[in-house]
Amino acid sequence: MKTAAPPLLAQMRRHKHAYAFILPTLCAMFLIHFVPMLQGIYMSFLRLNQITLRQYLGAPFIGLRNYVDILFNPQSLVRISGLGQAAKVTLIYAFVVTLATIALGLGMALLLHREFKGRTVARTLFFLPWIIPQFVVGLLWGFMWQKNEGIINFVLHDCLHLLSDKPFWLIGNNTLWAIIIPTVWRGWPFAMIMLLAGLQQISDEYYQAAKIDGANAWQRFWHITLPLLKPVWATLLLFGMIFNVYSFNIVYMMFGLGAGYPGPWGDLMMTNIFRASFGAYRFGAGAAASVLLMLFMIGMVLVWNHYFKKDVTAGNL
């Protein structure tokens, strides 16, 4: 009597050609993503610094010492200076940038969803900031924020007379806004395109029925547009938080290739870890900080998954 194959094995046999096609991609992802990630996790358990760098993965194994020193031992030489402040600034930066990007993208998507002459040209022009590479955006805005030579102060102070004097944007409390604004400027066109695609999938029948029932424009937006766009803006919320927490290029280029240090007012987790790893040669501590950041992001994704996965997978549009 012939024994039936297990369901999983039978399914794999049935789709063996599909699995054969995706196998090269899986192998590439394993080599490019998982191998470096596993190596980084292992490095976080080593005393890997400028003294033991020649030993590399053969450096002394110290277990959880890097993690303990980073979290609980402020006086330790392993502890990365300013990491707590960088974590606070990163949360504020990621939260503000993500919400501002989605809000601005939604507003422009609603405008471009209307019928008017030149709508296609307007969509193309508005999408241009997203095409510019991040390191170029950081370099250009770094010049624009200059106190005396920058165009920002020239427009606000000399042309519009909105400011009584020319402030420093790259030093002091204004630093955080100096990195938030360029990031929002580059990111909102992508949110606009995604939300515009979502708007085009909403049937006009919903709005016609709401008008008949006497709903005004705000009520139609709040009870129809926003809920039906939830799969889109929830996805943008997730990826926006991930991208912005790991933001590096704009800040690093804006404050120079030499130091790349915006001061405690605008220092992010990635720039802080980068300086600790490649400036102070604390590779083990930098790897440990990176793993802690990864664990925090995994927790954030799980929270998002709890609240939004059903809406996104259901596809309410």
Q: What is the CATH number of the domain that holds 103?
A: 1.10.3720.10
Instruction: Evaluate whether residue 284 is within a structural domain.
Output: yes
Cβ neighbours for 308, distance < 8 A, ≥ 6 positions apart: 230, 234, 237, 238
**What pLDDT does residue 255 have?**
84
- Average pLDDT rounded to a whole number, residues 82-111: 94
Tell me how far apart the alpha carbons of residues 310 and 223 are, in angstroms, rounded to a whole number. Answer: 19
Instruction: Kindly tell me if the per-residue pLDDT of 164 is higher than 90.
Output: no
Cβ-based neighbour number of residue 160 at 10 Å: 9
Residue (of 162, 156, 154, 138) closest to 252 by Cα position: 138
- Over residues 290-307, the mean pLDDT reads 93
> Rounded to 5, what percent of the chain is helix, strand, coil?
70, 0, 30
The per-residue pLDDT for 77 is: 59
Query: Is the residue at 32 inside a domain?
Result: no
Examine residue 56 and state whether it is found in any structural domain, yes or no. no
Q: Per the structure, how many domains does the chain have?
A: 1
Give me the pLDDT at residue 123, please.
87
From residue 279, how far is each of 29, 120, 161, 229 by CA, in Å? 29, 47, 42, 44
The chain-wide mean pLDDT, for the chain, equals: 88
Q: Is 265 buried (19+), middle (13-18) or exposed (0-12) by CB count in 10 A?
A: middle
This prediction's pTM: 0.88
Whether 27 is covered by a domain: the verdict is: no
Asked whether residue 317 carries a pLDDT value surpassing 50, the answer given is: no
Its sign, for the CA torsion 39, 40, 46, 50, is positive
Residue 3, pLDDT score:
56
The pLDDT score that the predictor gives to residue 236 is 95
- Whether residue 255 is contained in a domain is answered as yes
Q: How confident is the model at residue 261 (pLDDT cuts 50, 70, 90)?
A: confident
Residue 77 lies inside a defined structural domain of this protein: no
What is the domain range of residue 162? 84-314
Rounded percentage of the chain residues whose pLDDT exceeds 90 = 51
Q: Average pLDDT, stretch 171-176?
A: 89
Question: Is 45 inside a domain boundary?
Answer: no
46: helix, strand or coil: strand
Count of CB atoms within 10 A of residue 147's CB? 15
**pLDDT given for residue 310 in this prediction:** 77
158 CA to centre of own chain:
35
> What pLDDT score does 314 carry?
64
63 is a domain residue: no
